[in-house]
Chain A
Amino acid sequence: MRYSRIAGMGAYLPQRVVTNTELGRSLGVSEEWMVERCGIRERRYAAQGEGTAAMAAEAVRQAVADAGWKLEDIDFIIFATLSPDHFFPGSGVYLQNILGLSHIAVMDVRNQCSGFLYSLVVADSLIASRRYHRIVVIGAEIHSHCLEVPETNKEVAILFGDGAAAVALEVSEEPLILSSSLHVDGSGADYLKLELFEQKRRPWITPEDIRERRQIPVMDGMRVFLRAVTEMTATSKSVVEKAGKKLDDVDLVVPHQANLRINETVRRRLHLPPEKFFHNIQTRGNTTAASIPLAMVEAREAGVLKRGQLVLLVSFGSGFTWGGALIRF
């Protein structure tokens, strides 16, 4: 059998730090209200002119250097984002052009907060199938363009941050993914979505849409919270069981960073101690597809993610999409 391993990881964060003090002034809400709802204290916002693909390119460069590769060694890229530079083409082609890798293929993935996990499972399978040998999986997002206005949806605006992170996968004799499980329940699609553009309508975009701020995501926070806790808890248990392990065997859980309260509730339902759950949402916000690899990079920097550990990755997000993977890091 042929498997993959994570040879390197990298991340890129825009320079601008937006604290709750600053965002609270723009939105007209208190810092206390923001922390109570999601545990986030600050997040990063991309600069004017900074695009999703450009941020992704920086993260790819970091991951490739960390793996000891050259950029030319990459033979496939999978790019997960819900905030592409343009509606079409996908950001993958821009990323390929920025990196100057005209010889390789890039695939775009649209699975929101679960985009990284879906991409990781696909990349692992492509390496196992012997079709590709060195794949970079990237998650990158820019949410901030529509959040920093008083008219925005405050519950949504406080959650999101910008960022990019990538993992470089290469051939291995030992498995990276011991078990995985990916899910969708499309009946939840309307509970967290960006309404524009509405392709079935003519005209598909109007001045009224902009006046009514339909370019800002809408969310039913209660439903998302409830379902996220339910599915992340169940998926964590099932993925660990599928690998023939117990939850106690897991060295570290790196969950999607959507809301500190969701992750803490999942942790408690799994009866795991706080030190087994890694969180960086307090300073990064929810970076959707970038959040798990970004948390992995920062967990390694913090010394809590180490080689050889049994690590549970678990996500839930818009769609609804969710999933889990138990990996040997």
Chain B
Amino acid sequence: MTQPPENRIIDLIAEILQRDRAKITLESRFIEDLEANSLDVVELACLAEEEFGVRIPEAQIAYIRTVGDVIHVISNLKRG
């Protein structure tokens, strides 16, 4: 919880997708670059909600395309 959202979210993505953490950047696109599917993104959102104590609206999950999008959504929700 004390880590910045960026680091922890990239950790989660690397773990869920079983990808090399060093190759995941804020610009990485889930579908095109990380070969993720829609359920991977939903799973990530579910785990990020628990990790950061926020509730991500469904409509916002649908618009997540990149790693940076997730961080942006979480940061905005935390600011509140």
Chain A residues positioned under 8 Å from B54 (CB to CB): none
User: Given known contacts A268-B50, A269-B50, is B45 in contact with A226 (CB within 8 Å)?
Assistant: yes
Does A274 touch B at the CB level, under 8 Å?
no
A8-52 vs B, CB cutoff 8 Å, 1 = contact: the mask equals 000000000000000000000000000011000000000000000
Interchain CB contact under 8 A, B50 and A222: no
Interface positions of B from 45 to 59, Cβ below 8 Å from A: 45-47, 49-50, 58
Interchain CB contact under 8 A, A265 and B58: no
Chain A residues positioned under 8 Å from B62 (CB to CB): 222
Give which listed residue, A221, A268, A269, contacts B39 with CB less than 8 A: A221
- Secondary structure type dominating chain B contacts: helix
Please measure, in the bound complex, the distance between the C-alpha atom of A230 and the C-alpha atom of B45, giving whole angstroms: 11
Does B61 touch A at the CB level, under 8 Å?
yes
User: Given known contacts A36-B37, A37-B37, A233-B50, is B58 in contact with A225 (CB within 8 Å)?
Assistant: no
Does B42 touch A at the CB level, under 8 Å?
yes
Interface positions of A from 235 to 287, Cβ below 8 Å from B: 261, 265, 268-269
Interchain CB contact under 8 A, A229 and B39: no
Interchain CB contact under 8 A, A223 and B58: yes
Chain A residues positioned under 8 Å from B25 (CB to CB): none
Please measure, in the bound complex, the distance between the C-alpha atom of A225 and the C-alpha atom of B49, giving whole angstroms: 14
Number of interface residues, chain B, beta carbon within 8 A: 13
Interchain CB contact under 8 A, A221 and B38: yes
Please measure, in the bound complex, the distance between the C-alpha atom of A149 and the C-alpha atom of B62, giving whole angstroms: 30
Please measure, in the bound complex, the distance between the C-alpha atom of A223 and the C-alpha atom of B58, giving whole angstroms: 8
- Secondary structure type dominating chain A contacts: helix
Chain B residues positioned under 8 Å from A37 (CB to CB): 37, 39
Chain A residues positioned under 8 Å from B45 (CB to CB): 226
Interchain CB contact under 8 A, B43 and A265: yes
* CB proximity of B12 to chain A, nearest CB, Å: 10
Give which listed residue, B37, B50, B58, contacts A226 with CB less than 8 A: B58
Chain A residues positioned under 8 Å from B43 (CB to CB): 225, 229, 261, 265
Nearest to A230 among chain B residues (CB) is B46
Please measure, in the bound complex, the distance between the C-alpha atom of A36 and the C-alpha atom of B18, giving whole angstroms: 12
Please measure, in the bound complex, the distance between the C-alpha atom of A101 and the C-alpha atom of B61, giving whole angstroms: 52
Please measure, in the bound complex, the distance between the C-alpha atom of A221 and the C-alpha atom of B45, giving whole angstroms: 14
* CB proximity of B63 to chain A, nearest CB, Å: 12
* CB proximity of B15 to chain A, nearest CB, Å: 10
Chain A residues positioned under 8 Å from B58 (CB to CB): 223, 226
Please measure, in the bound complex, the distance between the C-alpha atom of A275 and the C-alpha atom of B66, giving whole angstroms: 34
User: Given known contacts A265-B47, A268-B47, A269-B50, is B42 in contact with A225 (CB within 8 Å)?
Assistant: yes
* CB proximity of B13 to chain A, nearest CB, Å: 14
Chain A residues engaging chain B, CB cutoff 8 angstroms = 36-37, 221-223, 225-226, 229-230, 233, 261, 265, 268-269
Known: A226-B42, A226-B61. 4 other contacts (CB 8 A): A222-B39, A229-B46, A230-B46, A265-B47
